[in-house]
Structure 1
C-alpha cells in the first residue's frame, strides 16, 4: 500500500494524504485533506489507483468550506472498469488538486 504525490502539484500537494487498502471488490482509498491556507477553501482532488496486472482506476474527492487547519476528505472504493484483477498491493497517486477560496 503506497501513496504518492507528483512534485508538479506545488505547495498545495502537502494538503492531501492518501492510504490505499486492497479489498476483495476493489481498492479502498482514504483521503485526508487539510487546509494549510490562510482562509476557508474548497478542494477537488483527482486520484489514480494503479497496481500489478493492469489495474487502473480514477476518482475524485471533494472537501468544501474547510477552515484554515481543518481537515476533510473521506473514502472511495476504486474498481478497474476494464476488469483487471484487484491487486494485493496498490498505489494511490494525486493527479490533480484544485483549491479555491470558499465563496462567501
Structure 2
C-alpha cells in the first residue's frame, strides 16, 4: 500500500449512475435478447442505487450503493478507502468509477479507478489512503458519494 497523495479537486462532473434500461416484464432472462458489448442498450450488471445509512464496524463506515460497497476508515494521515464492485452478470465487464470522499473543514479527495476485465462472479477491488493535497484536517466521520460510474462489456 502506498501513501501517495490523491489529488484534491472540485470537478464539474455531474453525478451519474448506471443508465437504466427497460426490460420486457413478461420475458424470462433466457428470452431477453443479449446486447453486444459495445451496445448502449447493455443491461446494467451492477446496481448503483443511492446509499442507505452506512453501517459501522469500529472506526470503519461501510456504504452500500446497490451492489457497490465502499468502506471508509479515517486515520492520522487520511482516509483509507476500499471500493468493491462485483460482476453478477454472465459475461466479463469493465468498470470505471470516481468517488468523492468529504468531511468538514474542506476535506475533499477524489478517487478515480478503472477495472478493465472483471470476470463473471468476481469482484473488482481497489483500496488506497486518500490524503487531501490542501492539508485539510482528516475527518473523523467522512462521507462518500459516487460521482461517476460506467460499465461496459469487456
Partner residue, 2:98 = 46
The within-5 A match list for 1:2-21 is: 8-10=16-18, 12=46, 13=48, 14-21=66-73
How many residues matched?
A: 96
Partner residue, 2:139 = 87
Q: Deviations over 1:2-58 (max 9, x none)?
A: xxxxx9514531342101110111101011110122310111110100011111010
Moved over 6 A (4+): none
For the residue of structure 2 that corresponds to 1:54, the secondary structure is coil
With structure 2 as the length reference, what TM-score do the two structures score? Answer: 0.57
CA RMSD after TM alignment: 1.8
**Which is higher, the Rg of structure 1 or of structure 2?**
2
Partner residue, 1:30 = 82
Long gaps (5+) in structure 1: 1-6
Partner residue, 2:109 = 57
Between 1 and 2, higher relative CO (CA 8 Å, sep ≥ 6) is seen in 1
Cα distance in 2 between the residues matched to 1:38 and 1:96: 23
Larger proportion of strand: 1
Partner residue, 2:119 = 67
Long gaps (5+) in structure 2: 1-14, 19-43, 49-65
Whether the 8 Å contact between 1:16 and 1:34 is mirrored in structure 2 is yes
